[in-house]
Every structure is written in C-alpha cells, then in structure tokens.
Amino acid sequence: MDNLSSTYDLLGLSTKSTGGKISKVRFDNTKQEFESNEVLFATGSWDTPKENTLLLWNVEQVSFGLGEQPSLTFSVLGKTTHEGDVTDMRFIGDNILLTSSSNGSLNAFQIINTNTSDFMDQSVGTSNYQLQMIMNRRLHSFTDTKNASLNSFAIKPHSINDPLVATVGEDGRIVIVRIEDSVKDHVIEDADASSIKAILWPRSNEIILANGCGQLRIFDPRENKPTTICHDCCYSPINIRVPINCLAFHPSKVHKVASGNNKGGVTIWDTRKLTEPEKHAQPHNSRVWEVFYHPYYQELLFSCSEDGTIGAVNFADFTPTFSSQDSMNAVKGQNVTIRKIGFKSNELPINSIDYHPHSKLLISGGDNENLLYTLI
C-alpha cells in the first residue's frame, strides 16, 4: 500500500443499463473462489419512480502477463425489480441476497443458476441467473399507512446458518427478525426518537446504531434502552451534531468502529471508551455515504461521498494534536494521509463502494448511472 499513488483514476465503465442510479454495490464474498477468475457482485438502484432494479453482475479478469494490468469484462447475469429504493444489501450464504428498501421492507432473493435447469426466464434476456424473491416483510413504518425507510440492517455474528437480522429505519425502531420465520423476533420500539441511519452488530450482546443527530448508541439486544450514548464532537461549535450516515467494522478488532458523517468526515471509535472519538479525518467536503476498512491494511479506511469521490485515509501514523483551547479537538490529528480517487468528468455523487480482496477490485456506483472501478 506504500505505492498508493496520489491520484488513482477510476476507470469509467460505460454501461448500457445499470438499472438507473446506483444506491448499493456489493460483492459476493461468501464464496472463496481461488481458482476462478469470475467475481460476482450486485447493484441496487434508487429514485426510479415505479420500480427499482437489482442486477447481478459478473466481472472476469484476464491477465496478459506479469506487470500488465488485467483486463476486466463486466456482464449482467441476472436482473429483477425491487420495490422502493435499495437502501442496503448483502450476500449471505446459500446464494441469498438480502436487501432493504425505502418502503420499510426487508427482502431476500434466491440466486438461481438457470444453466443447471431447463428454465430460462426470457424477461432477463440472455442472462444465466435468476433472482427470485423468497421473502418480503414490511418491518418499518410511521403509521399503518405511512412507510418509513428501512435504512440499514446487520446480521448477528455466527448466525449465518439461521440468520438473525436487525433492521433500523426512519421510525427509530430496531426490529430483529429471523429470515426463516415469519414472526418478528423482537422489536425495540423507541430505540431512538430520531431517524436511525446505520447499524452494526459486532458482538452477540452489542448492537451499535448511528442516528441523524450525530450520536452513536449501543444497545444490548435484550434491552429496550441504550447502554451508552455518545456523539461525534469533532466539530465546533459543540452543539453542531453532524448526522452520521454509515458505520463499518474493523476487520479484526471488534471494538473498533468507523463512521462517516454529513460533513464529509470519517471517525474511528473505540467502543470500550466512547466518551470521545479516537481518530478523525476529513477526506470529503460533503456527505459520506459509506465507509469500510481495507481487509488487509487495517489502518486504511475507504469512504465514498456526495462530492463524487472516493477517499482513502491512512490512519497508520495518526498523531493526535492537542489544542490548549479545546482539548475536545485532540482527535484531529496530524500525519493522516488522505488520498482521493475520482473520475475526472464525474461530479455526481458516489453512493456505494465495495472491495473484493482476492481480485483487488474496488467498485463504486452512484448517481451518474455508471459503475466506476479500479484495482488497488
């Protein structure tokens, strides 16, 4: 990673139909295909008036030799409609794609390889896969007639065989469901009086929420009240609570969490000591929509933003600076390396990013309806 150059250019992939503006991209990291050059990922769209689209993609890498950049070929394998904006998405085992929707529902899609069957759905053209909805449950709403967006979901650790999913939304509730059952497992009605933007489930007895008031709240799933509330105090004046839009796990340290906020900042937290954030950087000048840690270089944090760029922040040499006037700003440190990755003619937001470590492919999608990617 020392040779992460100052300006990677994202290569533009001009697509014919990505199904509209992309709200989520997610690799299928459930399979370890070391021998195959094929990589599966999915995209979900938003803002399409009638129905949005889920696309299942394949990207194939062909290497030309040592020192040569591999050539990438993208193709759509399957397609289905999605009611509401795709607000979150994740592949789970048994070829299931889980999505959440702005209409408050949690959906599960079974990915069926039609090559192994005689059936070919003509509506998806020449694709080899079918995405079949196997679950659609409306979990969040303000009233009986008014939906609330289901903003994010998290899966309980070590429950992958019988996934237990916690969902959060604009109605301020946490709903914990099992995919297999049709009965809601547990609902925390007033988890937050404001809208909940993101959720993590790092440990069985710990759920972390981020809300629109710049707070992190930690819950024990068995309780109805948060055990801890803290806020991002990296901005002054202190009463400016900047909404937090996204959260991410550290790959190996379960107590480390990263967040991205509305002012373009990313913050690292230690959940054992939540009185103040641990580290902070400002890679963007507008809303951060997603963050994630590099799986191997664990001080490297990627983020994507409304400003149309991807940020790569290296916290490895972070040194906190202490101001005599305001010790709360200690987290604004020196020696934080920030690199920006962007596509020069793109000014439209990038809403989602994901990384496939085996192929070293970083992929992003946003409001310009194109997939943008690079190899890192």
Partner 1 sequence: MREKLLCDISWNYVNAIVNHIKSLQEIPIKDKQIQNEISTFRDMMAIWELCRIMYFIKSERYQRLSTDLLTWLNECYPLGEEELNELRDSPNLRNTVTFWSRLYKLILRGLFPQAINFLRSIIMAVEITSDQIINREIIINDIIQSVIKCIKSRPKMSSYDTGLAWRNWLSQCSQLQKSIILENKFLEENFIMILKILSGDPDAILAKSSSWLEGLVALVYHKYPKCETSDVRSTLGPVFIRFSVHPDPTSQALKRIFYQRIDDALSYCKHIDPWLLSHLTDLLCKTDLDETIGGKSLLLHQHREGYLIKFAEPLLTHSTLWQVGFKYLEHCEKFGKVFMEEFVGKIPFDNERKFEKILKICEDNGLKFDEKCIITTMGTKYMQIKRYASTIIYYMRAGKDESLKAICNIFLTQYVESGKIMFSEVLDSIPVDKNSNESVNFLSRYRLYHSLIQDEFYVQAAQVLVECLRSEISPKEFWGVLLFHTVPLMKLGRRKGIKLFEKIHIDEFIYYCSQVLDKRIEDSWLKLVQRMKRWHYKETGYFDISEDLNPVKIECERYKKNLEKNHSV
**Residues with Cβ within 8 Å of residue 366, at least 6 apart in sequence:** 21, 22, 304, 308, 346, 348, 349, 350, 351, 352, 372
Beta pairing, strands 96-101 & 86-92: antiparallel
If the CB atoms of residues 171 and 278 are measured against partner 1, the closer one turns out to be 171
Identify which range of 113-121, 157-165, 166-174, 319-327 contacts partner 1 by CB under 8 A.
166-174
Residue 214 binding partner 1, by CB under 8 A:
yes
The answer to whether the beta carbons of residues 157 and 107 sit under 8 Å apart is no
What SS3 class is residue 295?
coil
What SS3 class is residue 100?
strand
Query: Rounded to the nearest whole angstrom, what is the least distance from the CB of residue 348 to partner 1 in the complex?
Result: 6
Query: Rounded to the nearest whole angstrom, what is the least distance from the CB of residue 117 to partner 1 in the complex?
Result: 26
The count of chain residues that interact with partner 1, using the rule CB under 8 A, is 46
Residue 172 binding partner 1, by CB under 8 A:
yes
Identify which range of 65-73, 160-168, 274-282, 344-352 contacts partner 1 by CB under 8 A.
344-352
CA distance 254 to 130: 36
Tokens of residue 334, six digits: 């020196």
Residue 73 binding partner 1, by CB under 8 A:
no
Residue 49 binding partner 1, by CB under 8 A:
yes
Q: How many Å separate Cα 223 from the centre of its chain?
A: 26
Residue 85 binding partner 1, by CB under 8 A:
yes
CA distance 111 to 106: 16
Q: Which of 349, 350, 352, 371 binds partner 1 (CB under 8 A)?
A: 349
Identify which range of 24-32, 115-123, 202-210, 211-219 contacts partner 1 by CB under 8 A.
211-219
Residue 275 binding partner 1, by CB under 8 A:
no
Q: How many Å separate Cα 235 from the centre of its chain?
A: 24
Q: Which of 27, 41, 46, 269 binds partner 1 (CB under 8 A)?
A: 46
Q: Which of 28, 88, 171, 206 binds partner 1 (CB under 8 A)?
A: 171
Q: Which of 26, 82, 231, 279 binds partner 1 (CB under 8 A)?
A: 231
Q: Which of 29, 37, 48, 136 binds partner 1 (CB under 8 A)?
A: 48
Q: What is the DSSP letter of 341?
A: E
Q: SS3 breakdown of the chain: % helix, strand, coil, rounded to 5? A: 5, 50, 45
DSSP structure string for 108-129: EEEEEEGGGSS---GGGTT-SE
Residue 316 binding partner 1, by CB under 8 A:
no
Q: Which helix (H) or strand (E) holds 107?
A: strand 105-113
If the CB atoms of residues 28 and 306 are measured against partner 1, the closer one turns out to be 306
> Interface with partner 1 by CB under 8 A: which residues?
14, 16, 20-21, 46-49, 85, 87, 102, 142-143, 146, 149, 151, 170-172, 190, 192-195, 197, 211-215, 229, 231, 237-241, 262, 286-287, 306, 345, 347-349, 367
